Amino acid sequence: RAMAQRVGDYWFAFASTGKPEPQNEPAWSPSTKANDTVMEFGDAIAPQNNFMQRRLNVFVDLLSVLGKFVNRE
């Protein structure tokens, strides 16, 4: 229940202000190419840098290869 409340606080802050930044919680900065950060909601709530980056790169590369087959004329 405590984690659900904390996650709900992030959603409420985002819905209210457009920024997922509830009081007394870790800041959730926007993810950009220069700042590849996501918020992990696990045993603790904390920002993670380069979260699953290698796995995401493989997925993006796979989509690129598949796109060449699908868009073939």
Q: Is the pTM of this model over 0.75?
A: no
Residue 18, SS3? coil
* 10-59 per-position pLDDT tens digit: 999 999 999 999 999 998 888 777 778 888 998 889 998 887 778 888 88
Measured between alpha carbons, how far is 52 from 2 in angstroms, rounded to an integer? 26
The per-residue DSSP string of the chain comes to -HHHHHHHHHHHHHHHHSS---TTS---PPP-SS--EEEEESSSEEEEETTTHHHHHHHHHHHHHHHHHHT--
